[in-house]
Amino acid sequence: MSSVKIELRQDQIEKIDSICESFGNQEGELINVLHKSQETFGYLPAEVQEVISEKMEIPAAKVYGVVTFYSFFSMIPKGEFPVSICTGTACYVRGAETVLNEFKKQLEIEVGETSTDGKFSLSCLRCVGACGLAPVVTVGDKTYGRVAPDDVKEIISEYLK
Amino acid sequence: MPVATLTEIPVKKQIRIALRNCGVINPEKIEDYIVRDGYFALGMVLSEMTPENAIGVIKDSGIRGRGGAGFPTGLKWEFASKSMSEQKYVVCNADEGDPGAFMDRSILEGDPHTVLEAMALCGYCIGANTGYIYIRAEYPLAIARLKTAISQAREFGFLGKSIFGSEFEFDIHLKYGAGAFVCGEETALIHSMEGLRGEPSLKPPFPSESGYLGKPTNVNNVETYANIPVIFLKGAEWFSGIGTEKSKGTKVFALAGKVNNVGLVEVPMGITLREVIFEIGGGIKDGKGFKAVQTGGPSGGCLTEKHLDTPIDYENLIACGSMMGSGGMIVMDEDDCMVSIAKFFLDFTVEESCGKCSPCRIGNKRLYELLDRICTGKGEMPDLDRLRNLSEVIKDTSLCGLGQSSPNPVLSTLNNFYHEYVSHVEDKKCQAGVCRDLLEYFIIEENCVGCTACARACPVGAISGERKEPHLINPDTCIKCGACLEKCKFDAVILR
C-alpha cells in the first residue's frame, strides 16, 4: 500500500491522544479509534498510526495490520469529493463496469487514485444495499441511482462549480 | 439513501413477519413500535416464562439462522445457556456484506426496536446482560436509527436494570465494522469486535462456549432476531405452520438484477423461484429471456430454468448447488455471460479472502486466473477440468465458510452452463457478447454510408473503404478500442 509522508503538528498529536483516551486506551477499541481518527484526518497515514500505537501501547505492526485489513481505512488522502462506484452483483449485472470506465475516462484517474487537483478520488464499493437502484454511484454522502455512462459528465459537473 | 420500494411489488404470496413494521411505523418513535405490540413479547416472557421454557418455544418454532448456514436458532441459544460463566454476551451480526442483499439494512432502518427486543429476549434466555450490535460502517442511517432506538428503549426501561420490574438487566452497545466481508463469519466477527484483524478461527470451540473476550457468546443475524418477538407473541405452533418440513417461517429475499420489480420480498419457505421471479418480480426486464438466478451471494450458485419449480428451502438450494445465504437473489437474462459472472464472484472472493488459510488465499486466486484466461480467449479444454478439481479442493480444505463456499459460483456455472465454457474455449466466442476479447467490431454493409468517420478515428488504420462505399474492418489489425463504434452516426458498427 502506497503512503504519503507527513509531519504531524503538536495539536494534531494531542487530538489523536484525546481520541485514544475517549476510548479508555483500550486495545479492544482499536477499530473505533481508527474510525474516529480517519473521520478527523480524512485518512490514516503511517504517522497517525504510530501515535496511536504509542498511546494505546499496541505494536505499530499490529495497528498497521488492522488498518490494511479493512477496506474502509485508507492510507492515502481521499479527494474532496470521493466518488465510489458500487460493484456489487446487482450493479455489475446492470452495467456498473461501463459507468466505472466512464468515470475513469472523465476524471483521468484509476481506481484508488486521487486527481492531481485533489478534487476527486475514485473507488469501488461492495454493495451499498441500494440494489433496487442499480447501478449506484456515491459522491461523498450523496447517492445517485440508475446511473448510465451518459450521466457521468453531468454528475461530475455538479462538483466543478 | 432510499429504502427499497416495498409498496411497488405485488403483495400476493408474501407474508411479512421480519419486515412486518418496515415502512409501516416511524422507526424513530418507540411509541409506534409499542402500538404494534412492541416489547410485549419481552414483558410476557420476563413475567411468565423461565429461560428454559422460552428457549423451548424457539426450538419448537423450528426457526433457523437467516444469515446463511441455517443453524437451528433454538439449539444455538440452548448451547449458550448451558455454558457456565459469570459473563455472557448476545451479539447481533449486522455486517451485511453479501453484494445484492439489503434486508438487514431495511430492518435496522425501518424497525430497529424489534432487533433490540429480540436481543434482550435472547439475553434473558441464555443469561447474558450485555449485547453488541456489530454493524457495517457503510450503513450510516441504520447506525443513527439504532442509536436513537437504544436511547429511547433505555428511557422507557426496556433496556437497563430491572426490566419490567424483574431482576433481569440488559444493555446494548454498537461496534462498527470497517469493510471486510469475512467478518460475517461469526468467529471473524468476534475477533473484529475485539479490535483485531477479522480472521476466522477454527471451530470448536464455538462462540457459545468461548466467544467475545473468551466468554460464551450467542451470535445471530438481524433477520433472525426480527422474527423472535413475533414467535413469542403468536406461538411456536403458528410459526412452524408456515414453510416446509425442515425450513420454517418466511425468508426475506432481495430481488435485484434484470427483473421488473426489484426490492425486498418476504415469502414463506417452500415457494418456488418461478413464483418469486415471475409472479412477484413481474418477470424479466425488457421482455428478454430468463437465463439464470444467482442466490446466496458470492458463496451461492447460479440456478437455471430447470430449478425454477423447486421449492425454496435450505436443503433444496444446497442440493441444487447453491445456498440460501442471506437471501440475495440476482436475476440474469440472455445478455449475461455466465463465465464472466463466475469470474466476477471470484474477483470478489480474491479481494475479500482474509489470507489466513492457503486453499482460500492461493486457490481462489488461481481459479480467478483460469477464468480470466478463458474470458480472454486463452483457455484450453483441460482448464475446465482444472477449474473443477481446484474448486473441490478449496471447498474441502478451507478453514471457514468463505473458502468452503467460494467455488460455488464456478461449480454451478460449470454444471449448468458447461456449453458456454466450451464455446469460450473451443470457438473463442462469447454468445452473450460480454467478453470483450472474444468479440470483434464489424461494419454492417447496409447501414454504412461511407462517411469515413470511423476510418479517420481508427488509431491503427484497420478500417478500409472508398468514400461513399461500405467500409471494412480488418480483424487482424483491429485493437478493439471501440473508437469506430463511438464515431459512427449510422449504427453501422457493431460488436459481435
Write the ipTM. 0.85
Which B-chain residues 389-428 have CB contacts (< 8 A) with chain A? none
Task: Note whether A124 and A93 are same-domain residues.
Answer: yes
Which A-chain residues 46-75 have CB contacts (< 8 A) with chain B? 65-66, 69-73
What three-state secondary structure class fits B281?
Answer: coil
pLDDT over 70 at A82, yes or no: yes
What three-state secondary structure class fits B11?
Answer: coil
The grid cell for B373 is 484466461
Task: Tell me the pLDDT band of B298, cut-offs 50, 70 and 90.
Answer: confident
Using an 8 Å CB-CB cutoff, list chain A residues near B330.
89-90, 93
Task: Note whether A58 and A97 are same-domain residues.
Answer: no
At residue B92, what are phi and psi to the nearest 5 degrees? -105, 120
Task: Note whether A46 and A18 are same-domain residues.
Answer: yes
Best of B143, B145, B258, B330 to disrupt the A interface (most A CBs within 10 Å) is B330
CATH of the domain at A115: 3.40.30.10
What three-state secondary structure class fits B128?
Answer: coil
The span from the CA of B48 to the CA of A51, in Å, is 53
Best of A85, A89, A92, A94 to disrupt the B interface (most B CBs within 10 Å) is A89
Contact across the interface for A127 and B193, Cβ inside 8 Å: no
CATH architecture for residues B345-425: Up-down Bundle (1.20)
Residue with more model confidence, B479 or A104? A104
Mean pLDDT of chain B: 93
> Which has the closest alpha carbon to B331: B307, B350, B353?
B307
Contacts of A122 (CB under 8 A, 6+ apart): A83, A84, A85, A103, A104, A107, A109, A110, A111, A112, A113
pLDDT in tens, B255-277: 999 999 989 999 999 999 999 99
Using an 8 Å CB-CB cutoff, list chain A residues near B263.
132
| Residue B442 sits at the chain A interface (C-beta within 8 Å) | no
Contact across the interface for A94 and B348, Cβ inside 8 Å: no
The span from the CA of B13 to the CA of B458, in Å, is 55
The span from the CA of B29 to the CA of B143, in Å, is 15
Q: Domain total for chain A?
A: 2
Task: Tell me the pLDDT band of B2, cut-offs 50, 70 and 90.
Answer: very low
Identify whether B268 is preceded by a cis peptide bond (ω within 30 of 0): no
Q: Which CATH number fits domain B250-333: 2.40.340.10, 3.90.1170.50, 3.10.20.600, 3.40.30.10?
A: 3.10.20.600
DSSP states of B169-195 as a string? -BEEEEEE--S-GGGGSHHHHHHHHTT
A31: closest chain B residue by CA: B195
For range A22-41, the mean pLDDT? 94
B471 and B430 Cβ atoms separated by less than 8 Å: no
Angle value at C-alpha B461, between B460 and B466, nearest 5 degrees: 165
Q: Is residue A2 domain-resident? A: no
Mean pLDDT of chain A: 91
Using an 8 Å CB-CB cutoff, list chain A residues near B140.
141
pLDDT over 70 at B203, yes or no: yes
Q: Which residues pair with B112 in a beta bridge?
A: none
The grid cell for B19 is 419486515
pLDDT in tens, B362-406: 999 999 999 999 999 999 999 999 999 999 999 999 999 999 999
The span from the CA of B449 to the CA of B453, in Å, is 10
Contact across the interface for A126 and B257, Cβ inside 8 Å: no
Q: How many residue contacts between A and B have a Cβ separation below 8 Å?
A: 122
**How far away is chain B from the Cα of A110, in angstroms, using its nearest Cα?**
17
> Which has the closest alpha carbon to B177: A25, A51, A69, A121?
A69
B138: closest chain A residue by CA: A128
Domain span at residue A87 reads 81-158
Give the H/E segment covering residue B441.
Answer: strand B441-443
Task: Note whether A141 and A85 are same-domain residues.
Answer: yes
The span from the CA of A94 to the CA of B134, in Å, is 30
Task: Note whether A40 and A106 are same-domain residues.
Answer: no
Contact across the interface for A129 and B102, Cβ inside 8 Å: yes
pLDDT in tens, A88-131: 888 988 889 999 999 999 999 999 888 988 899 999 987 888 88
Q: Of A48, A69, A90, which marks where a domain is finished? A: A69
Q: Which CATH number fits domain B18-240: 3.40.190.290, 3.40.50.450, 3.40.50.11540, 1.10.238.10?
A: 3.40.50.11540
Nearest to A143 among B1, B194, B330 (CB): B1
- What pLDDT is recorded for position A3? 53
Contact across the interface for A69 and B197, Cβ inside 8 Å: yes
pLDDT over 60 at B8, yes or no: no
